[in-house]
Structure 1
């Protein structure tokens, strides 16, 4: 009698069971601790769950997981750099001007959201937008700083506004 082999299990649970420890080990080597690696691994599988990628159609699941994991790792490093820059700026403030821990948390969350919103914009467009919105610079001042024409700054601003509107949709 010939035994029928069961078809391979194509589900998130099978993907998780088969590849979680491998991914977590890879991430642990990159971040240097098990806690961040475990968090990033879980976030990776949550991204897979939320993605339109069909698990059953994955030819190279480890390559896919690695790509998602690398992006999350990059986001982690960017967030830590942003947090450190913020803490460095706070250290320069007079003691009576330092925000409370709650205010600091809200500010960090806002900075992170802004950073994510502007992600994907070219550096000059991003810089022009931030100077306009955060420092209140006019197009002429931005053009001088960037060494471009005012017309180019207008184009950069339009691109930034369009990007923000499309991300929000």
Structure 2
């Protein structure tokens, strides 16, 4: 867990990636993301975010590369898509470093950590909320995403008490 905290704290987000597959439908190729996975690339490494426990928790691990850890049909192709332009206000800013990180109900695990949700305040001023509880996997948003997540929690009081400021 200390390695993850160090990587998140001391490096700029260079890119955000989605993984999925490419499928052909009526002669048109379509990228279909697997929203159980989201990857943050930093100067010093990559963090894999994975929706686990039936989309109720977010697992974070340091990985060597972006992985395609899912099965696809023979006629489909594994694919990766850059999402930094969609998630980061300005992907080129040197201030896309995490200034403050909050994990809800943080738990250590072999090779990483998991939590109910994760919020990041970047030095640029941008607020990013990562919610693993959607039907198809991870959703990324801002303050409104956090508000929706809290409204949909079964036991809001327990989660508010379990907030853990990583740094």
Q: Fold match, TM over 0.5?
A: no
TM class by shorter chain equals under 0.3
Q: Which has the higher helix share?
A: 1
Which of the two has higher C-alpha Rg? 1
Give the structure, 1 or 2, with the largest relative contact order (CA under 8 Å, sep 6 or more): 2
